[in-house]
Amino acid sequence: MSHLGIIEVTKDDLIQELDTLLGHFNLNEIADLAETLEQFLILNLNDSLKKYSEEFLGLKSDGSNDYLVSEESNILFSINICRDISNTKFLNVVINHHIIGEKTKVKNFHIMIDGYGNIQKVRLLFPESMNFDLVAINALIKNIYEVGYNWYKVKIEELVTQEKITLITELYGYIKKVIPSKDLRKHLWFASVTDEFGFRLLDKDVAMDLFERIDPNSEYYGHSTNRLVAEMLSTRLPKNNLLMQKAIEENKIMDVDIRDAKYSQEGNIYSAAMTAFYGCDSFTIHPIMADGKANIVALYPSNKRNEFEFLLNKHLDTLTKICKNSTSKIYQVQKLFEGKKTNVGKWGEFVGGFVKAFTDV
């Protein structure tokens, strides 16, 4: 098989493995999915590099799975993969050969990764004596990470659109009619506060815009864009002490500071996601329907309050009518954040395989 042939096989196998092992995660678990995906990709990268070395470099497992051994020289090789401590967006892949008393010249090769995950660059360090096809290795490593990160984004879209709920469809559908500008619309979210919880009403277009909105700011908060997007979409908080609840109780438009929220003071990652999304610590809460049990608010950046306050107040009667006609649907939306737990069998197999492979790396 050619170098590119093994890369295509790796791509197909990767998608199938992701669907099998991680495809069962629910909306309320996508933050865990973002972190688990990163571990999975390290495991897959390790296995793929071993397969490549066996296929094209004449190396084979030494039987313990700790090392690869050269069939010609009987020299042992090992693969070590870890995040760079000085820049966690970098992944170091170090291939060592174990020759006592011999100094080794090392080559350094960088591979850029496109996507919204933890890793933006892979730094490959390997002995000069290893006859790597760097074009193929570049394609192999990029393929693993970029396919994996794209799979995650597609999975998020699938989960956000898994159920067509009348309330969400009509609310955002009406907004698309009265606010033709997508550049303005993407700043507007609807959220609900019931007698128990507060959560966002998820529209596909607004949700998928999160990746580009959050990405420029994500590096300041120590988490990947994928993880912060997951927090924005899947977080459901008790209504007590929510900033939205205060605006509903007073039934007035309020500019609020994220740092005043209980979840921020408790160090919840959701506050980092909110700040990364808005690019600042403030946003505006605009009550649409406040009936005590099933309330709807609009959320938007405070620096766009003039535009949204005018437009929402102009169409408030229609928006309120849409909400009142679909009050029962709010509790249907709330159930999306509950979901059943992951399949323990599949999950256990994956974790066990990962721990074993990670100790082998």
Q: Which pLDDT tens digit goes with each residue over 126-165? A: 888 777 788 888 999 999 999 999 999 999 999 998 877 7
Tokens for 292?
């005590």
| DSSP structural state of residue 75 | -
CB 35 within 8 A of CB 230: no
The pLDDT, as a whole number, for residue 318 is 96
pLDDT at 357 over 70: no
SS3 105: coil
pLDDT at 221 over 80: yes
Q: Which amino acid is at 241?
A: N
pLDDT at 270 over 90: yes
Q: Where are the domains of the chain?
A: 3-158+341-360, 163-335
Instruction: Flag the least confident range among 42-51, 120-129, 161-170, 243-252.
Output: 161-170
Chain position carrying tokens 């003039």: 306
As a whole number, the mean pLDDT across the chain is 85
3-state SS of 208-264 is HHHHHHHHHHHHHHCCCHHHHHHHHHHCCEECCCCHHHHHHHHCCCEEEEHHHCHHH
The pLDDT, as a whole number, for residue 345 is 44
Q: Which amino acid is at 208?
A: M
CB 220 within 8 A of CB 276: yes
Bridge partner list, 182: none
CB 98 within 8 A of CB 78: yes
Instruction: Flag the least confident range among 92-106, 157-171, 299-313, 330-344.
Output: 330-344
Q: Which amino acid is at 343?
A: N
- Give the angle 329-333-335 at the CA atoms, nearest 5°: 115
Q: Which pLDDT tens digit goes with each residue over 279-295? A: 899 999 999 998 777 89
Q: Give the residue-averaged pLDDT of 52-73.
A: 70
pLDDT cut 70: percent of the chain above it: 86
CATH number of 163-335, picked from 3.10.450, 3.30.450, 1.10.357, 3.30.230: 3.30.450
| 167-171-172-178 Cα dihedral, nearest 10 degrees | 160
| DSSP structural state of residue 101 | T
Instruction: Flag the least confident range among 84-88, 128-132, 168-172.
Output: 128-132
Chain position carrying tokens 């649907």: 329
Confidence of residue 306 (pLDDT cuts 50, 70, 90): very high
SS3 66: coil
Q: Which of 144, 141, 150, 140 is nearest to 116 (CA)?
A: 150
